[in-house]
C-alpha cells in the first residue's frame, strides 16, 4: 500500500492542480490514498506580494472545495484544511468546517511562506489549539526562508506534546536536510517529516541516524502534472530501489503506516 501524505488541488500562483488529475495519477502510479490540501489558500505570491483581492480566495471556500473532493472520493482522498492567518484567522467558520467534516478532515495545513506568517506567531497558535481540540494533526511547509524554519515547528511540537506535527519537505531547498534531521534526532514523539522533494539518500540518512518512525511518504503531486510520480531521482526511487535500502518494516512505516498513525486514517 502507498499513502501520499502531501498532495494538492487548486489553481493559484501559476500552478494548476485539477482534482481529476490527482485521481488519474494515483490510478496510474498505484497510490492507494492521498491527503490533499488546496493551494488556493495562499495569500502571497512567490515574491511575498499579497495576492490582489479579486484573485485571493476565502478560507471557507478554499477548504469547502477540498472537503467536497474528499467526500466524493472517501476511499481515496482525505484532506488537510489550509489555514490563512495573514488576511483571515482561525475563526468559527474554520472550526465548523473541521467539526462537521471529521470523516474526511485529518489535519490543518499551514504554509508560513505563502501565508507570510511564522509558524510560532500568535495567529498560528490558534490553529494549533484547534488541532488539539479535534485531535487532528498540523502539517507545516518547511523551507530555507525566514518564515518556514524547521526549528519553529520543533519548538511548537515541544510546547504542544499532545498535537502531532509534520515538517513538510523536511526543509525544502536544503541539500542535506540537516536541520530537519537535527530536529528529528531530538526524538519528540509528536514530530514527523514528509518526503516531498526529499532526496532518497537523505531519507535513508534520517532512517539510519534517527528512525523510520518519523517519516511519511509525500510528493507535492500533481505539481509536475500527471506524471509527477515518474520523477527518476525522487519518486521512482522511493517506489523501487528504496525498498531494498531499508527493512521491510521501515519501508511499510514510511510508505503508509506512519501516515495512518499521524493522521488517524481509518483505512485498512
Ligand atoms: Zn506542497
pLDDT attached to residue 54: 86
Query: What does the mean pLDDT of the chain come to?
Result: 97
Strand (E) positions, 13-76? Answer: 15-17, 33-38
What residues have a C-beta under 5 A from ligand 1, the ion? 220
Closest CA to 61 of 121, 135, 130, 11: 11
pLDDT attached to residue 29: 98
pLDDT attached to residue 55: 87
pLDDT attached to residue 96: 98
pLDDT attached to residue 13: 87
Task: Tell me if the domain spanning 3-262 has CATH number 3.90.245.10.
Answer: no
pLDDT attached to residue 78: 98
79 DSSP β-pair partners:
36, 105
Residue that has been written with the C-alpha cell 509527477 in this structure: 228
DSSP string computed for 212-238: GGGEE----BTTT-TTGGG-TTTHHHH
Interval between CA 141 and ligand 1 midpoint (Å): 7
State how far the Cα of 30 lies from the Cα of 35, in Å rounded to an integer: 15
Interval between CA 197 and ligand 1 midpoint (Å): 9
State how far the Cα of 203 lies from the Cα of 219, in Å rounded to an integer: 13
Q: What is the mean pLDDT of each run of 10 residues along the chain (268 residues)?
A: 98 92 98 98 94 92 98 98 97 98 98 96 97 98 95 98 98 95 97 98 97 98 97 98 98 98 92
Interval between CA 234 and ligand 1 midpoint (Å): 15
pLDDT in tens, 50-103: 999 888 999 999 999 999 999 999 999 999 999 999 999 999 999 999 999 999
Interval between CA 7 and ligand 1 midpoint (Å): 7
Edge to edge, the sheet with strand 191-194 lists: 15-17, 3-12, 33-38, 77-82, 105-110, 137-143, 165-172, 191-194, 215-216
Interval between CA 220 and ligand 1 midpoint (Å): 5
Q: What is the model's pTM?
A: 0.97
Domain boundaries along the sequence of the chain: 3-262
Contacts of residue 225, Cβ cutoff 8 Å, sequence gap at least 6? 21
Amino acid at each position: 500500500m502507498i499513502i501520499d501524505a502531501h498532495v494538492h488541488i487548486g489553481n493559484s500562483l501559476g500552478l494548476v492542480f485539477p482534482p481529476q488529475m490527482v485521481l488519474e495519477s494515483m490510478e496510474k502510479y498505484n497510490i492507494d490514498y492521498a491527503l490533499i490540501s488546496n493551494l488556493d489558500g495562499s495569500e502571497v505570491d512567490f515574491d511575498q506580494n499579497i495576492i490582489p483581492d479579486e484573485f485571493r480566495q476565502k478560507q471557507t471556500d478554499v477548504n469547502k472545495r477540498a472537503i467536497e473532493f474528499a467526500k466524493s472520493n472517501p476511499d481515496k482522498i482525505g484532506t488537510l484544511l489550509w489555514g490563512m492567518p495573514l488576511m483571515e484567522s482561525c475563526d468559527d467558520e474554520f472550526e465548523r468546517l473541521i467539526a462537521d467534516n471529521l470523516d474526511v478532515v485529518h489535519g490543518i495545513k499551514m504554509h508560513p511562506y505563502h501565508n507570510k506568517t511564522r509558524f510560532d506567531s500568535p495567529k498560528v497558535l490558534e490553529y494549533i489549539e484547534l488541532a488539539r481540540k479535534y485531535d487532528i494533526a498540523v502539517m507545516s511547509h518547511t523551507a530555507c526562508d525566514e518564515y518556514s524554519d524547521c526549528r519553529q515547528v520543533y519548538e511548537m511540537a515541544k510546547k504542544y506534546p499532545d498535537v502531532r506535527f509534520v515538517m513538510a519537505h523536511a526543509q525544502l531547498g536544503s541539500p542535506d536536510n540537516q536541520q530537519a534531521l537535527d530536529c528529528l534526532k531530538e526524538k519528540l514523539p509528536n514530530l514527523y517529516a514528509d518526503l516531498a522533494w526529499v532526496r532518497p539518500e537523505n531519507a535513508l540518512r534520517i532512517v539510519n541516524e534517527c528512525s523510520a518512525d518519523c517519516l511519511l511518504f509525500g510528493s507535492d503531486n500533481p505539481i509536475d502534472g500527471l506524471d509527477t510520480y515518474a520523477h527518476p531521482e525522487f519518486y521512482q526511487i522511493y517506489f523501487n530501489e528504496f525498498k531494498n535500502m531499508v527493512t521491510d518494516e521501515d519501508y511499510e512505516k514510511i510508505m503508509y503506516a506512519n501516515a495512518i498513525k499521524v493522521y488517524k486514517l481509518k483505512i485498512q
